[in-house]
Chain A
Amino acid sequence: MTISQKEFALSCPLPIRNYPTVTLAHGGGGTLMHELIEKMFRAAFGSSDLDCAHDSTVFLPPADARLAFTTDSYVVSPVVFSGGDIGSLAVNGTVNDLAMAGAKPLYLSAGFILEEGLPMDLLWRIVLSMKAAADQAGVKIITGDTKVVDKGKADQIFINTAGVGTLLHQQNISPSSVAVGDQIIVSGDIGRHGMAIMAQRENLEFESNIESDCAPVADLVGQLLDAGLMLHCLRDLTRGGMASTLNEIAMAAKKGIQLVERLIPVREDVKGACELLGFDPLYVACEGRFVAFVPKECAQDALRVMRQHVLGASAAVIGEVVSPPTPCVTMESLIGVKRIVDMISGEQLPRIC
């Protein structure tokens, strides 16, 4: 979600404009910090749940509900990228982690570590972007924290979000439910977030603008559950990309995974950028994509539900769970030969030639 300059000018809390950048005093516990919290964070995130200016927010979970609880920290550089920024990422990332348990996200916390000198405009943009992402995901940001560190001790802004969600189903969505014969569905084309960041970070200009796929998938997962479909396992494809995620699941489930390369959706511009840099899209991060392991008899229904959702329009069955002697991810290559799809060692590095 991007906020235009005009929107910013209209809504920026005035007193904060007196300080064009974040100073150490904004984290010092005095009036400036108070003002930052009141005029910026509470102004943006405020809700009836957040009315009480106290050390903790107290809320009642739905009666008898199973709760899901998760946390993640966000340190992306650059903080603003094509298709999102660190704010939308910090909300969507944690919302998606909750969704992978089949949970409906309810509340988030937001912890900010700000580097002294961070432009106040940028912080405001990020805060508004968090608000917009939270609204889109139907989740409330109800508690938070701010620290300011000396210049050079952080990279502009780091955000931690933790999230609580409620499980409205009785399924056990986890690798332990994965069974031989399960179909593996990916919710859309892979590799866009990683390549968008890479292009921006390294100032690489491609013919088309690759936008991050950063988005909250909780609603899409909710629709699968509402349709009464059996979901054995869900996992979002973040760091390490699809290959690493599937390896983790294969190991945890003690099962084999067999993929078919030609079925895996990758956008042409992402494919091109990867070829140019010597990257494999299987290892490039996404921020709005997940894989679903579903029993064979549910696969077509699940695919239909996903494709009806705007975030699942290019969903595809890409493989199935098999039972080899050892857990391992294999793939039928484009020319029809089987090979291993390994977990990556470290990060992918651009090749010499």
Chain B
Amino acid sequence: MKYLDEYRNPQLAQKLSKEIHKITTRPWVLMEICGGQTHAIVKFGIDELLPKNIELVHGPGCPVCVTPLELIDQALAVAARPDVIFCSFGDMLRVPGSKNDLFSVKAQGADVRIIYSPLDALALAKKNPDKQVVFFAVGFETTAPANAMAVYQAKQDGVKNFSILVSHVLVPPAMEAILSSSSNRVQGFLAAGHVCAIMGYREYEPLAPKYKVPIVVTGFEPLDILEGIYLCVKQLEEGRAQVENQYVRTVLPDGNKHARKIIEQVFCIVPRKWRGLGEIQHSGLGLQKEYQAFDAQTRFDLSGYKVEESGECISGEILVGLKKPHQCPAFGVRCTPEKPLGAPMVSSEGACAAYYRYRRSTSQAGF
């Protein structure tokens, strides 16, 4: 398949792997930001093509994983209301709140629907004027433009029965939180290609020199990731700390101006709590004043949801690269995709789920 097969070419992958081996003289710890990259690394076994002294740690870029528990409880409460049609992207349905998940609420009779675009939720609202249609607006900068567009359109069309439960998060503040932590191990970043396709990479330019850390905007196919690693290691070995763009076929320096414009029009920057990481200043998006009427949190009065994370789940340490999933005592024992203790085991992009799915018994399998 065009634009896919050429980025999965085994000979070219081996060639890049050799180049990385050639330039690596010291141990380095790199973090890929995006869960999609984590998934590809584990699925294709990209890390096994790397020198032993290059360690990949998996970043917080899985939107399902970082959505805080209380927000999921709020979603469950709204979804359970008989007057509500609750719409969500598919992989949020299995994420456990403090008691159950959206699948269970659906089984108890709630009208929960998987949709592919927030505009589909808006269309549902127009079709069902006697129902409140709520969309679970989760994600990073990548999903923000379409979600913003749905709210913008709802306002334009005067749709009164549509609202969104917002849990948007932003990448650069999370990177800065990781870098400024005293326990940080990350020496180089593979930035998330799709986020940069929207936002560009200007925001990262002050971070690279400030924290002396190379940041390489990277795509999602095996050759993208290997090339991203190559560029990152090369910078580290040469003592450089710059922003570079591996994903040139998709990412422009200033991103997608139209998408950014609609984000800025509908959303504003707010502090946001991350599951496993706690609250990070300026790390989320909330609705601008003139769009507050579309905020499900005020429409259904969802204040007063405060929940503590499971003490056993170490997702916080995993999401900042301090630990690997299999270093958690609960991994694969008390925490599995069927019965997850925390979100990284739920989403297909979560590091724990990826390890469980592709690596669980690699030692037993004779690898």
Contacts and interface: CB of A to CB of B under 8 A. Distances in A.
16 contacts: A204-B116, A271-B1, A272-B1, A275-B4, A324-B365, A325-B365, A333-B44, A334-B10, A335-B46, A339-B43, A339-B45, A340-B357, A349-B90, A349-B94, A351-B90, A352-B92
A202 interface: yes
Contact of B90 (A275, A328, A340, A350): A350
B43 A352 contact: no
A328 B363 CA distance: 12
Contacts of B4: 271, 275
B348 A202 contact: no
A314 to B, nearest CB: 16
A334 B194 CA distance: 23
A352 B360 contact: no
A352 B361 contact: no
B364 interface: yes
B366 interface: yes
A328 B361 contact: yes
Contacts of A330: 365, 367
Interface residues of A, number: 30
B152 interface: no
Given A271-B1, A275-B4, A256 B365 contact: yes
A353 B44 contact: no
A335 B138 contact: no
A353 B93 contact: no
B89 interface: yes
Contacts of A256: 365
A169 B277 CA distance: 63
B143 A202 contact: no
A342 interface: yes
Nearest to B16: A335
Interface string A308-336: 00000000000000001110101001111
Contacts of A275: 1, 4
Interface residues of B, number: 48
B114 A333 contact: no
A268 interface: yes
Interface in B132-146: 138-140, 142-143
Contacts of B93: 349
A353 B10 contact: no
A345 B348 contact: no
Contacts of A351: 36, 89-91, 347-349
A346 B94 contact: yes
Contacts of A339: 42-45, 358-359, 362
Task: Pick the 8 closest A-B CB pairs, nearest first.
Answer: A337-B45, A349-B90, A345-B337, A350-B90, A335-B13, A352-B89, A353-B142, A334-B8
Contact of B348 (A325, A338, A349): A349
B78 interface: no
A342 B90 contact: no
Contact of A338 (B10, B46, B367): B367
Given A351-B348, A352-B89, A353-B194, A333 B45 contact: yes
Nearest to A340: B358
A350 B360 contact: no
Contact of A324 (B116, B358, B366): B366
B98 interface: no
Interface in B190-247: 194, 222
A326 B43 CA distance: 21
Nearest to B92: A352
Contacts of B338: 345-346
Interface in B75-119: 89-94, 114, 116
Contacts of B348: 278, 348-349, 351
Residue with the greatest number of chain A CB neighbours at <10 A, chosen from B46, B116, B356, B366:
B366
B336 interface: yes
B54 interface: no
Contacts of B48: 337
B13 A336 contact: yes
